[in-house]
Amino acid sequence: MNEEMETICFQIISYAGDAKSCYMEAIQEAKQNNFEQAGLRIQEGDKSFAQGHHVHAELIRRECSGESVPVGLVLIHAEDQMMSAEMTKMMAEEWIDWYRNQEEERV
Torsion of CA 79, 38, 28, 96, to 10 degrees: -80
Q: Residues with catalytic annotation? A: 77
Q: What is the pLDDT of residue 107?
A: 76
- Which domains, and CATH codes, for the chain? 3-106 (1.20.58.80)
Binding positions for Mg(2+): 80
Give dist(CA 77, CA 41) in Å, integer. 24
Give dist(CA 52, CA 21) in Å, integer. 14
Whether 106 has a pLDDT exceeding 90, the answer reads no
Could you tell me how far CA 98 lies from the centroid of its own chain? 21
Convert the pLDDT of each residue in 54-82 to its tens digit: 999 999 999 999 999 999 999 999 999 99
Give dist(CA 93, CA 42) in Å, integer. 8
Convert the pLDDT of each residue in 3-34 to its tens digit: 999 999 999 999 999 999 999 999 999 999 99
